[in-house]
Amino acid sequence: MRSKESIKSITLVILFITSLILSSQIFFRIESESISDNNSVVWIEKKKNINNYFSPQSYFVNFGGSLHTVIYNLEEKREITNIVSNCFKNLADYNSFVEIDYNKWQEVISKRGIRFNMNFDIEFDDFISLLVSNNIEFDSKWNVSEVNIILGENIYIRSDNKYYSFNNINRETDKFEKVISKIENSYLEYKSIEEIYSLNSILNLDSGFRINNNLIPIIKIADIPIIEVVNEVDIKNEKNMIIKSYVSRILGTNFIRKVYDYEGSVIYMIGYGEKSLKIDSNGYFEYNEKLLENKNQLDFAEGLNMSINALSTISNLPSNTYLSNYYKYNKNENEITRYEFDYSYGGYEVLLNDKDESAFVVEFNGSQLSYISRRYKKFTKLINVNKIWESALPINMVINKNYEIISKNYLNNKGVFINLSNNEYIYEILQNIKGMEIRYYLKDADGEEKLVPVWELEIGKWTYFINIYDGVIVSSINNEVNN
Amino acid sequence: MKSFRKLTIAILSIIILSSLFVFADDADVKYDLNDYLEIINPSFTEIDNVEVKNSLFISMNIKQEEDMYLTVKRIVPVMDELYFDKIINDEIDKDELINSIADRVIDINSINEMEIINDESIVTERERITSVIRRYVEEYIKNKQMQLEFVTMTREVNLVYINLVGDYDHVIIEKYNKLREEYFTELKIFNEIRNDYNELFKVKILDKDKIISAGVMPYYEKNLQDISAGRYEMVIELFDEDRYMLKKINFNVVIKQEEEIIIEDKIELIQSPIIKFDLEE
């Protein structure tokens, strides 16, 4: 009987010691990953190559004359980005540019080269910093909207309605020629809106006319699959170790409260909400920190590097993540710096909804990391569409199919109310196409979430997301109201 | 009363005269296809070369909806006249050459040679083609002979004119004028037949496609795939109750990076069975 009691006591002691060892190992592991902040677990800090997060909307390649294509392929995009980066690597003399007029800009657009629109109007200093992966300060104070690299010539930059030519720059002609020639072997042919519709002669606007250089495919687009996706985490599965792991990575192991809100989200908090992490039913993360007085300043590259680190601490970022917006704003008398990121599949950018919300957001209050949002959907499988649709609808059919809505919105914005059978505005509407890109749009269908290829068609003040295969408007937004 | 008459006459005169002007204006109305459509692509701003990748994109702005059609033909290069000359010299058998050309026409147009095109006389497609070729070959030979005769006589007449001081041979001049008239009449017939012959070597890649707006978009768009380099003809036809309009545009399609292929293509077309035989010689 006594020996039985002894065995029990020994077992209990062994169990106690084992639990102590295991727990200390967990603490040790978290401690080893958490650096720099004294208060709690903070973010891994590694020097990232921020150049990897540079991405224009898409690259327009002109083979000379009226032969064009649009590049979505990630590999080709990266190759071009690296060459563009080399061009600006040794830009020591910021003043080596001259302002040119619109006619000169338009003249060079028809030459052999590569052109791209930025995802947002980025300040020239930040544009260079992003390209060369280092903080550069020329105190330029002007934004880059569009870049045009002409083979063997200068690099031209559009800043809203102003145009510049950079002379003293690495031209990298051979490298550009090599990449253009490679693309030239096999490409989908595009033409500019002006080349297809000849609006200059029809609208007859004289000097006020601006050539519409946006590109439209003249070959049928096929084989862009639909992608089935799932939430990054499933909060319904409370015992999910992944959730616990995420929480410990962001808040450490010492969070105090766990709260469920009426929408079904779960919120983990430290103290009285000084720091909190919310995971909602979509598997989206939102981290908030109470704003403290912080007068430290982060430069663009520093903040970008920290943002990437912070987002990667939660979980690795998709390899095709890019900086999609950057700006500063005031919140409770604090200046907040905001970095936004998005990602792509197969080279096509992913839109999670029509509210222009980015997939990943990081905010800083001075040098204090105050906000993170991570909205990511995990890829599960591809659904080939060739058995459903032969190919994408041509653009003229897309516009034709949705003309009633498009013309109504366009004319309402103009304050014109006419009988819709009157089609005299068709040329004006075509001239006002401001952008046309293929994207993936997240759509919930039959309880399953899918990324559907859409045209993001911007006409006047409206943006339409249109299924490329059946031409149905999936969503539309009035940019004027949204801004 | 008199003045009233004068006034009436004057007014009537003005009305009649103005009506005449109106009628005259009506008669002068010239219809132009450009009033109905504007060809945007292919763009002909630079010479008549159109650079493409491998498809020919056609777009037109339709200004007025009418019964309009577009036909696009590829013009196959023909160099058969070299061999017609050999018929004259009895170096090549005429029937053999005609059959060989007919084979080639049937081949390039991918047509059913046995297709009956006239039920009443039971004329097959091959017979029709052979007949056009035969007419052309015979006209060619006839024309060549007349040309030779005409050139020779022109020289003779020139000599007569140069030696005006000497004998003035009315007979020769009359004979020359008659021959001249006959030759030019023959030339006219020859050109008509040549057009029929050349049509055999125009391969239709788009046949009478209706030029119609895509709904609200007042544009006609067509993308002809797998286009090869060479010369093309675009034919636009407008049919109306009281008029027919036709516009033909010839242009070269140039495919970048495929210059070597173009040369090979041309050689292959020139090398008909007869030519191969010649090359062996």
Q: What is the dihedral of CA B171, B175, B180, B185, to 10 degrees?
A: 140
Is residue A90 less than 8 Å (CB to CB) from chain B?
Answer: no
Which carries the bigger pLDDT value, residue B123 or residue A429? Answer: A429
The whole-angstrom separation of Cα A59 and Cα B233 is 35
Q: Is B72 helix (H, G, I), strand (E, B) or coil?
A: strand
Neighbours of B227 (CB within 10 A): 20
The amino acid at A52: N
Task: Give the mutation candidate from A419, A422, A424, A426 for the B interface (greatest B CB count, under 10 A).
Answer: A426
Q: Is the pLDDT of residue A445 over 60?
A: yes
Side chain identity at residue B9, one-letter code: I
Q: DSSP 3-state assignment of B173?
A: helix
State yes or no: pLDDT of B274 exceeds 60. no
Q: With contact defined as beta carbons under 8 Å apart, do A250 and A313 qualify?
A: yes
CA-to-CA distance for B216 and A404, rounded, in angstroms? 10
By C-alpha distance, which of A367, A363, A299 is closest to A134?
A: A299
What's the number of CA atoms in the CB half-sphere (13 Å) around residue A166?
A: 22
The b-or-e profile of B89-112 (16+ CB within 10 A means b, else e) is eeebebeebbbbbbbbbbeebeee
* Model ipTM over 0.85: no
Q: Which among B38, B41, B53 has CB closest to A67?
A: B53
Q: Tell which residue, A463, A462, A467, A470, has the closest CA to residue A451.
A: A467
Residue A282, Cα to own-chain centre: how many angstroms?
19
pLDDT, chain A, mean: 84
Q: Where do the H-state alpha helices sit in A341-482?
A: 395-401, 403-414, 426-431, 479-482
Q: Look at strands A334-345 and A360-365 and give their pairing.
A: antiparallel
pLDDT (tens digit per residue) in B153-179: 888 888 777 765 456 677 778 888 888
pLDDT at A478 over 80: yes
Q: How far is B34 from chain A (nearest CA, A)?
A: 13
Amino acid at A246: Y
Say whether residue B124 is in contact with chain A using an 8 A CB cutoff: no
Chain A environment of B215 (Cβ under 8 Å) = 397, 400-401, 403
pLDDT (tens digit, 9 = 90+) per residue, B218-251?
Answer: 999 999 988 989 999 999 999 887 788 889 999 9
Q: Closest Cα of chain A to B257: distance in Å?
A: 9
Task: Say yes or no to pLDDT of B38 above 60.
Answer: yes
CB B269 within 8 A of CB B77: yes
Q: Is the peptide bond before B42 cis (omega within 30 degrees of 0)?
A: yes
With beta carbons under 8 A apart, name residues in chain B contacting A410: none
| pLDDT per residue as tens digits for the range A12-58 | 888 888 777 665 544 433 333 333 344 444 566 677 788 888 887 78
Q: Is the pLDDT higher at A302 or at A420?
A: A302
Whether A204 has a pLDDT exceeding 80, the answer reads no
Contact B41 A201 (CB under 8 A): no
Inter-chain contact A218–B55, Cβ cutoff 8 Å? yes
Helices B170-200, B125-162: crossing angle, 10 deg rounding: 150
Q: Give dist(CA A226, CA A345) in Å, integer.
A: 10
Q: Give me the mean pLDDT over the B54-59 stretch.
A: 90
Q: How far apart are CA A52 and CA A341, in angstroms?
A: 12
Distance CA A184, CA A63 (A): 7
Cα A64 to Cα A68: distance, rounded to the nearest angstrom: 8
CB-CB under 8 Å, B257 with A396:
no
* B223·A184 Cβ contact <8 A: no
Beta strands A348-351; A433-445: pairing state: parallel
Mean pLDDT score, B33-53: 82
What is the reported pTM? 0.78
DSSP state of A317: P
- Across the interface, whether the CB atoms of B61 and A198 are under 8 A apart is answered yes
User: Of A456, A461, A458, A457, whose CA–CA distance to A409 is shortest?
Assistant: A461
Instruction: Kindly identify which residue of chain B lies nearest to residue A189, measuring between CA atoms.
Output: B53
pLDDT digits (tens, 9 = 90+) for A378-432: 889 888 888 788 888 888 899 999 998 999 899 888 887 766 555 778 999 999 9
Tell me the pLDDT tens digit for each residue of A246-264. Answer: 888 888 776 667 888 887 8
Interface contact B41, partner A, CB < 8 A: yes
Radius of gyration of the CA atoms of chain A, in A: 26
- A374: closest CA of chain B, how far (Å): 42
How far is A351 from A194, CA to CA, in rounded Å? 28
- Is residue A402 within 8 A of residue A471, CB to CB? The reply is yes
Percent of chain A with pLDDT over 90: 37
Task: List the one residue out of A347, A351, A345, A344 whose CA is nearest residue A381.
Answer: A345
Q: Which residues of B touch A219 (CB under 8 A)?
A: 55, 223
